[in-house]
Structure 1
Amino acid sequence: MNKLFYPAVFHWAEEGGFWVSFPDLPECLTQGDDMAQAYEMAVDALGLCLVSKEQNKEPLPKPSEPDKVSVEDGFLVVVEFDMLAYKKRANPRAVKKTLTIPGWLDEEATAKGVNFSQVLQEALIEKLRA
């Protein structure tokens, strides 16, 4: 569930550019001076909203089917959000963990110059993708 897709309605702004709303997240609004900036801002706004819900232990709303979204004064754009990539960008701090492995494994890995932190990170990322 790392990649999420939510429909957004892009509205033309009177002063130029676009303002963006999400039917499934009425509290999530943003704007941009042009289409590219409005889309970028929509991704960021969606991320802030979804991460906030997750942190508050609120369920994430199920995205509406695009053909079920009513668009009166704009046009529909499906916005892609990568939760894992966002979390990496938003919280890159390192956290120290203590772990236990068999002595023989430690000796073999140390002899081969294995970077334990890197191996653990790669394994965890792979496990989370599954």
Structure 2
Amino acid sequence: MRKMTYLAVFEPAGNGAYSVYFPNVLGCVSYGKNFQEAQAMAQEALELHIYGMEKDGDTLPIETFSDIQTNAGDIVYAITIYPDFVKNQMDNRRVKTNCTIPYTLKRKAEMQGINFSQVLETSLKAMLQ
């Protein structure tokens, strides 16, 4: 499984909170009420940012692990993600969709305890193979 690591800069934001950005992943930012939450939120932000870039066909940034310009009090911390795991989760998450069927058909199916989501999923899989 692919593993990617990028450096994140945690900037103190007051009251123990931190704002986070990735110098080599432009536009990827996050925030947390404390350092632990900021770490978790930074990882999630990076995962979703890289997922979106891959989905859009963008070239992924390369982490150089070179010197990063920071201010006093900033913390530089490595964040590791597993893009294939995230892609699998995102591509297979359940989403709600709306469909329209005749009322009598709906009523008969409900009386027989039919699971509409299961029937639709099974039918779509069969049709798309």
SS at match of 1:10: strand
Larger Rg: 2
The letter for the 1-side match of 2:67 is K
Q: Which residue of 2 aligns with 1:61?
A: 61
The letter for the 1-side match of 2:5 is F
Contact conserved, 2:28 with 2:45, CA < 8 A, in 1?
yes
The letter for the 2-side match of 1:26 is L
The letter for the 2-side match of 1:82 is Y
- Once the two structures are superposed, residues 89-120 of structure 1 have per-residue CA deviations (whole angstroms, 9 ceiling, x without a partner) of 2222588475xxxxxxxxxxxxxxxxxxxxxx
TM-score (norm 2): 0.66
SS at match of 1:11: strand
- Once residues 34 and 15 of structure 1 are traced to their aligned partners in structure 2, the CA distance between those partners, rounded to angstroms, is 8
Q: Which residue of 2 aligns with 1:4?
A: 4
- Once residues 41 and 80 of structure 1 are traced to their aligned partners in structure 2, the CA distance between those partners, rounded to angstroms, is 12
The letter for the 2-side match of 1:2 is R
SS at match of 2:14: coil
Aligned-pair Cα RMSD in Å: 2.1
The letter for the 1-side match of 2:34 is D
Q: Which residue of 1 aligns with 2:71?
A: 72
TM-score (norm 1): 0.66
- Once residues 64 and 9 of structure 1 are traced to their aligned partners in structure 2, the CA distance between those partners, rounded to angstroms, is 14
Q: Which residue of 1 aligns with 2:34?
A: 34
Contact conserved, 2:9 with 2:20, CA < 8 A, in 1?
yes
- Once residues 90 and 9 of structure 2 are traced to their aligned partners in structure 1, the CA distance between those partners, rounded to angstroms, is 26
